């Protein structure tokens, strides 16, 4: 095995563990996503190539591809005259957009919680809790701005 192939396999494993641990994906979904990220060029990988590389059954690969598609982690495209689907990771911009949606939902909850706690702060503990919540609200607002800036930069690169 070449050094490059060994490094590729280590990267796939690293991504796999990351997605399994931090994104609550199954081991197979995590390895598929890792494989697509590390192996993928603009052309993507076909279902048959994934089955071969991953070494899992067709039904297991199919089930996990459908999950990754549903979660927006991957996408596919077809070529006119070719019945195959080509799978690739979703663009960075699209992935960042997913994070932005999570942050925006959290922002709404935090803002509502601040308004609620402002109405019922009768003790020192409740006032302290409100102050911590306001600091967190500031963080969420800053993070939203940061993500929007990142998405704009990625969109410029990905749309060229």
| Per-residue pLDDT tens over the stretch 70-98 | 999 999 999 898 889 999 999 888 889 98
What pLDDT score was predicted for residue 91? 86
What pLDDT score was predicted for residue 146? 95
Q: Are residues 63 and 8 in the same domain?
A: yes
Q: Angle at which helices 47-54 and 27-39 pack, to 10 degrees?
A: 110
pLDDT band at 158 (very low <50, low <70, confident <90, very high): confident
Average pLDDT over residues 120-124: 87
Q: Pick from 34, 59, 89: which residue ends a domain?
A: 89
* Residue range(s) defining the domain that contains residue 43: 3-89
DSSP 57-105: -HHHHHHHHHHHHHTTSEEEEEETTEEEEEEEEPPHHHHHHHHHHHHHH
What total of structural domains would you count in the chain? 2
Q: By CB neighbour count within 10 A (0-12 exposed, 13-18 middle, 19+ buried), where does 5 fall?
A: exposed
Query: What pTM was estimated for this model as a whole?
Result: 0.79
Q: Are residues 110 and 85 in the same domain?
A: no
- The number of angstroms, rounded, from the C-alpha of 43 to the middle of its chain's C-alpha atoms is 20
Nearest to 90 by CA among 151, 28, 49, 3: 151
């Amino acid at each position: 095995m070449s050094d490059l192939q060994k490094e590729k396999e280590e990267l796939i494993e690293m991504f796999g563990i990351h997605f399994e641990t931090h994104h609550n994906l199954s081991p197979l979904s995590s390895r598929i996503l890792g494989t697509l990220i590390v192996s993928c060029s603009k052309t993507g990988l076909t279902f048959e190539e994934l089955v071969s590389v991953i070494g899992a059954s067709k039904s297991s690969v199919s089930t996990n591809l459908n999950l990754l598609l549903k979660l927006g982690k991957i996408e596919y495209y077809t070529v006119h005259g070719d019945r195959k689907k080509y799978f690739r990771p979703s663009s960075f911009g699209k992935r960042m957009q997913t994070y932005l949606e999570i942050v925006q939902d959290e922002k709404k909850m935090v803002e509502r919680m601040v308004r609620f706690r402002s109405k019922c702060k009768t003790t020192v503990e409740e006032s302290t809790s409100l102050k911590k919540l306001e600091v967190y609200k500031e963080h969420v607002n800053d993070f939203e701005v940061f993500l929007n800036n990142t998405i704009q930069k990625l969109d410029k690169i990905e749309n060229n």
